[in-house]
């Protein structure tokens, strides 16, 4: 069993001063962290990286290019393959279709996106689509949120946590 914290859109410092304490605790306790971009600063990225046992992250539209983060990344834990993208470049179709395409191109079971600051947990044609919202509650989110994905032998469960 592997516990993965799924986070996005921290927006530190433009929309928040820091990660909420409870989010920091979740990141520290996780076996791995997936972040769908918009850290907002090199310092915010370094903070999350220092808290996490392992980090898979992608570039969002507000991230400094100096971070050198990819637009799409994949990680496999507990037999579950996860494709991660920020989601701001979905040129055609809907946001959800864009996430699904990302998963299919990566041969992934789960696609994680960010950008909208709105939570999403939906199965679409055998792909699980996730958006954890904003880890700091950056607008239009109403409160901070992350997801906890538990992966075991190729199966996963997802819990949304917000406060």
Fold of 2-162: Purple Acid Phosphatase; chain A, domain 2 (3.60.21)
Per-residue confidence (pLDDT) for residue 88, from 0 to 100: 78
User: In which order are the strands placed within the sheet that holds 145-152?
Assistant: 55-57, 32-35, 2-7, 145-152, 155-162
Per-residue confidence (pLDDT) for residue 92, from 0 to 100: 54
Domain ranges of the chain: 2-162
21 CB burial (10 A radius; 0-12, 13-18, 19+): exposed
Per-residue confidence (pLDDT) for residue 43, from 0 to 100: 97
pLDDT along the chain (163 residues), means of 10: 98 96 98 98 98 98 96 97 88 80 96 96 93 97 97 97 95
């Amino acid at each position: 069993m592997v516990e993965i914290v799924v986070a996005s859109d921290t927006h530190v410092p433009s929309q928040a001063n820091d990660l909420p304490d409870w989010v920091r605790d979740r990141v520290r306790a996780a076996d791995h962290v997936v972040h769908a971009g918009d850290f907002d600063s090199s310092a915010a990225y370094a903070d999350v990286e220092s808290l996490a046992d392992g980090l898979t992250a992608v570039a969002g539209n507000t991230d400094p290019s100096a971070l050198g983060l990819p637009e799409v990344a994949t990680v496999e834990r507990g037999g579950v393959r996860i494709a991660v993208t920020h989601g701001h470049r979905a040129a055609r179709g809907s946001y959800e279709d864009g996430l699904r395409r990302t998963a299919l191109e990566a041969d992934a079971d789960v696609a994680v996106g960010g950008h909208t600051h709105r939570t999403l947990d939906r199965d679409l044609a055998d792909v699980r689509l996730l958006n954890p919202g904003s880890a700091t509650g950056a607008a239009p989110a109403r409160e901070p949120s992350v997801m906890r994905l538990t992966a075991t032998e190729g199966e996963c469960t997802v819990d949304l946590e917000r406060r």
